[in-house]
Amino acid sequence: MPAGGRCLPVVADETDNGRFATPFGALKHHLPSIEDLTGESAARGLDTGFPRYTLDLVTGALADGHADDSYARLSEHFGRG
């Protein structure tokens, strides 16, 4: 199973149980990479729509006090109706 497929059960469990805090891979640790991806994409004339969208989601979660949470925290954004 590809690596992405192996992490989906973990993300689903975190989402279902509302437990998002993680000692490794917290949103605060991913922010610099997302910023770099967005900036480097723009500098090379690539579409920044998806990286910028991801950056906005993560910075919003950080602003809401979720710096120590995993990406599963972002599932709340998609559950809003």
Task: Report the number of distinct structural domains present in the chain.
Answer: 1
Neighbours of 13 (CB within 10 A): 11
Q: Report residue 27's pLDDT band, with 50, 70 and 90 as the boundaries.
A: very high
Q: What is the pLDDT of residue 75?
A: 85
* DSSP symbol at 23: S
Closest CA relative to residue 48, chosen from 56, 57, 39: 39
Torsion of CA 81, 14, 71, 1, to 10 degrees: -110
pTM of this prediction exceeds 0.85? no
Q: What is the CATH number of the domain that holds 46?
A: 1.10.1040.10
How many CB atoms are closer than 10 A to CB 23? Answer: 7
Q: Which domain holds residue 12?
A: 3-79
Q: Is 21 helix (H, G, I), strand (E, B) or coil?
A: strand
